[in-house]
């Protein structure tokens, strides 16, 4: 018995740390309820940011308003988050109030109107700020001169304290958030300042997430008509600097056999050989999507197969956050991938909106690289963030812009992780793409990372010559006309020579007579 126990301990100790990180966690489901989107206020957009952050912790989310709440919903979830953006709104749902009295799961409250039960359990006392500037801090991060107006802050609370809020006047010295047992409270949460990042620290503990967050570098907006030589130069510079990276590429659904497409594929293969990972970006959604005949599912599968058949291993999908809350886009576009990176919504075009998100085994929280640059950090080396995060920037249009970005990356003390280290899977009917511990596989065959360039012939008829009616007759007519023109020129030349000689003889004869 003792020998068996020792063997188990040895096996556990032999498991590599990166494998432990990749172990699948039991699915977790969170109910997110809010009173309003606070459109036109500084809190606008915080619900969307919270949804993406929950996805980065591999959570499945069901979202609801108080008005849409149905009796018995709370009892279906072990974790509930309530966001109260509106200071003058009261909960009118009798069913919610009744269910909350009996709720025994984990509860996180954000914003105004903290329930009496939460106040009692946390021994919580709050006040409301005036219009003033405050300093936010969390971990190694700090942001000064954040303007706030009429927001609550914590005066007293039991439990673990997170970060801090202090006023420039010196009358506020409060924790950013608190947590004790199953209850947690965050009074202030906005998108675009340090509170967006600070929420991640509270969420990680409240969700009981133990995995260490990873940091990825993601370059977006790479198209077939991008400057492919510049893409290769960027890959070379990042490779020489030892920075692994991801490129999010726009899919192509037609003319995949053209030389221009082949050159695009060769460039992506070269990027892959320079320690770059490939992400398939969602296609641009227009009001006419799916009206041309081809299904989105078939188009996405076609592009994935084109990549895989060329020796390129796509490892995930990049899409705006709303895609994961749309049944059509989930089933038709995202179902091939178990990993995504969700971007902030820019232009929402739902086709079949649903209240429940699609859960992925990996879904990094994306933020522009410039987002972190607005904050101070205590140490020179930037520490890992609580969640998986993808720091993004759009591909540059000029070499000078690219060199400037490359220098900025090299000057920042950020440790970027290799996306291939984690387990990713992309699967179609024809191809299965996997990444395992930094190695890539297509249909169980290892991907050759040093595949040489192929020469792509630029002389190509993009429009095939079609058969023309009466072409033979026109050709005969053209030849006859050419012959007539040549004959006319010959006769004209002969007459010119004869006339010249006659005029010359007449001129000489007149001279002799003189």
Minimum mean pLDDT range among 63-67, 177-181, 203-207, 448-452: 448-452
Q: What is the mean pLDDT of residues 305-310?
A: 95
Which residue, of 206, 239, 254, is where some domain finishes?
206
Residue 272 sits in the same domain as residue 183: no
Domain assignment of residue 181, yes or no? yes
Residue 261 inside a domain? The answer is yes
pLDDT at position 92 over 80: no
Q: Does 493 fall in a domain?
A: no
Count up the domains in the chain and report the number.
2
pLDDT at 469: 54
Query: What is the pLDDT averaged over residues 485-495?
Result: 87
Domain containing residue 99: CATH number:
3.40.50.880
Q: Any idea which of 202-216, 263-277, 500-514 has the lowest mean pLDDT? A: 500-514
Is the domain of 304 the same as that of 432? Answer: yes
**Least confident residue range of 61-65, 70-74, 298-302, 493-497:** 493-497
> How far, in whole angstroms, is CA 243 from its chain's centroid?
19
Are 152 and 228 in a shared domain? no
pTM of the model: 0.82
pLDDT beyond 90 at 330: yes
pLDDT at residue 299 is higher than 70: yes
Structural domain ending residue among the three candidates 392, 417, 446 = 446
Whether the per-residue pLDDT at 471 is higher than 80: the answer is no
Q: For residue 24, is pLDDT > 50?
A: no
Contacts 24+ apart (CB under 8 A), 371-375: 374/143, 375/141, 375/142, 375/143, 375/194, 375/197
Percentage with pLDDT > 70 across the chain: 87
The confidence score (pLDDT) of residue 199 equals 97
Compute the C-alpha angle 227/228/233, nearest 5°: 100
pLDDT value at 29 more than 80: yes
Give the C-alpha separation, 278 to 300, whole Å. 15
Task: Inform me whether the pLDDT recorded for 439 exceeds 90.
Answer: yes
Among 207, 246, 194, 206, which residue's Cα sits nearest to residue 58? 207
**294 part of a folded domain:** yes
Given a cut of 60, whether residue 461 has pLDDT beyond it is: no
pLDDT of the residue at 17 = 36
- Specify whether 196 is located in the same domain as 242: no
- Retrieve residue 217's tokens: 């570098």
Residues 230, 148, single domain; the answer is no
Higher pLDDT, 291 or 180: 180
For residues 64 and 173, membership in a common domain is answered with: yes
Q: Are residues 224 and 118 in the same domain?
A: no
pLDDT at 22: 38
Residue 506 lies in a domain: no
In this structure, the answer to whether residues 197 and 259 fall within a common structural domain is: no
Q: Are 343 and 391 part of one and the same domain?
A: yes
Q: Do the domain assignments include residue 514?
A: no
What is the pLDDT at residue 484?
Answer: 87
Interacting residues of 62 by C-beta distance below 8 A, sequence separation 6+: 29, 30, 31, 32, 77, 355, 356, 357
pLDDT in tens, 129-175: 988 899 999 999 999 999 998 999 999 999 999 999 999 888 899 99
Range of the domain at 398: 215-446
What CATH number does residue 365 fall under? 3.20.20
Pick 71 or 496 by higher pLDDT.
Answer: 71
Flag whether pLDDT at 231 surpasses 70.
yes
The secondary structure of 201-231 as a DSSP string is HHHHHHTT--SPP-EEEEEEEE-TTS-HHHH
**Average pLDDT over every residue of 222-246:** 93
Confidence tier at 468 by pLDDT (50, 70, 90): low
Average of pLDDT values for 401-410? 87
The proportion of the chain whose per-residue pLDDT surpasses 90, expressed as a percent, equals 64
Please tell me the total number of residues recorded for the chain in this structure. 514
**56-94 burial: b if 16+ Cβ within 10 Å, else e:** bbbbbbbbeebeebeeebbeebebbbbbbbbeeeebebe
Predicted confidence at residue 498, as pLDDT, reads 84
The average pLDDT across 232-256 equals 92
Q: Are residues 141 and 228 in the same domain?
A: no
How is residue 466 annotated by DSSP? P
CB 184 within 8 A of CB 109: yes
Q: Judge if 323 and 375 occupy the same domain.
A: yes
The pLDDT value given to residue 201: 97
Given 142, 173, 206, which residue is the final one in a domain? 206
For residue 471, tell me if it sits in a domain. Answer: no
* Domain membership flag for residue 282: yes
Residues 262 and 168 in one domain: no
In whole angstroms, give the CA distance from residue 181 to residue 106.
8
How does residue 503 score in pLDDT terms, banded at 50, 70 and 90? Answer: confident
| Residue 451: band (very low, low, confident or very high) from pLDDT cuts 50, 70, 90 | low
Is the pLDDT at 467 greater than 90? The verdict is no
pLDDT band at 64 (very low <50, low <70, confident <90, very high): very high
Span 229-257, average pLDDT: 92
What does the pLDDT average to over 496-514? 75
Where residue 512 falls among pLDDT bands split at 50, 70, 90?
Answer: low
**366 with 319: CB under 8 angstroms?**
no
Question: pLDDT grade, residue 228 (50/70/90)?
Answer: very high
What average pLDDT does the chain have? Answer: 87
411: Cβ–Cβ under 8 A, 6 or more apart, which residues? none
Q: Is the pLDDT of residue 385 over 50?
A: yes
pLDDT of residue 18: 37
Does 16 score more than 50 pLDDT? no
């Amino acid at each position: 018995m003792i020998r068996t126990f020792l063997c188990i301990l040895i096996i556990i100790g032999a498991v590599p740390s990166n494998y432990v990180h990749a172990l699948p966690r039991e699915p977790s489901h969170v109910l997110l309820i809010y009173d309003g989107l606070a459109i036109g206020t500084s809190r606008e957009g915080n619900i969307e940011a919270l949804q993406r952050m929950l996805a980065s912790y591999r959570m499945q989310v069901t979202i609801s308003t108080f008005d849409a709440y149905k009796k018995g919903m709370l009892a279906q979830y072990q974790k509930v988050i309530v966001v109260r953006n509106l200071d003058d709104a009261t909960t009118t749902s009798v069913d919610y109030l009744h269910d909350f009295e009996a709720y025994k799961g984990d509860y996180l409250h954000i914003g105004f109107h903290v329930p009496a039960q939460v106040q009692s359990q946390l021994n919580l006392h709050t006040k409301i700020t005036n219009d003033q500037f405050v300093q936010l801090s969390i971990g190694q991060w700090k942001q000064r001169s954040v303007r706030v107006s009429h927001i609550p802050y914590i005066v007293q609370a039991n439990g673990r304290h997170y970060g801090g809020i202090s006023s420039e006047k010196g009358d506020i010295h409060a924790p950013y958030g608190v947590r004790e047992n199953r209850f947690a409270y965050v009074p202030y949460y906005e998108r675009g300042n340090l509170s967006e990042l600070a929420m991640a620290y509270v969420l990680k503990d409240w969700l009981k997430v133990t995995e260490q967050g990873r940091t990825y570098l993601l370059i977006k907006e790479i198209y077939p008509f991008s400057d492919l030589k510049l893409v290769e130069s960027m890959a070379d510079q990042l490779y020489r600097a030892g920075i692994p990276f991801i490129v999010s590429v726009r899919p192509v659904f037609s003319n995949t056999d053209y030389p221009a497409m082949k050159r695009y594929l060769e460039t992506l293969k070269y990027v892959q050989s320079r320690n770059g990972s490939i992400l398939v970006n969602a296609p641009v959604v227009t009001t006419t999507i799916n009206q041309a005949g081809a299904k989105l599912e078939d188009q996405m599968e076609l592009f994935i197969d084109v990549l895989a058949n060329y020796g390129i291993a796509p490892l995930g999908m990049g899409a705006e956050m709303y895609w994961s809350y749309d049944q059509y886009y989930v089933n038709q576009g995202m179902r091939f991938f178990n990993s995504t990176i969700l971007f902030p919504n820019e232009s929402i075009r739902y086709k079949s909106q649903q209240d429940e998100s699609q859960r992925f085994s990996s879904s990094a929280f994306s933020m522009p690289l410039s987002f972190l640059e607005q904050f101070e950090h205590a140490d020179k080396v930037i520490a890992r963030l609580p969640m998986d995060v993808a720091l993004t920037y759009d591909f540059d249009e000029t070499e000078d812009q690219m060199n400037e970005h490359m220098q900025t990356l090299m000057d920042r003390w950020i440790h970027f992780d290799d996306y291939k280290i984690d387990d990713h899977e992309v699967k179609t009917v024809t191809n299965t793409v996997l990444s395992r511990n930094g190695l890539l596989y297509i249909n169980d065959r290892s991907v050759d990372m040093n595949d040489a360039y192929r020469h792509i012939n630029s002389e190509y008829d993009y429009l095939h010559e079609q058969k023309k009616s009466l072409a033979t007759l026109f050709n005969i007519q053209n030849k006859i006309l050419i012959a007539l023109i040549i004959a006319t020129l010959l006769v004209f030349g002969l007459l010119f020579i004869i006339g010249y000689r006659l005029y010359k003889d007449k001129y000489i004869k007149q001279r002799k007579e003189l």
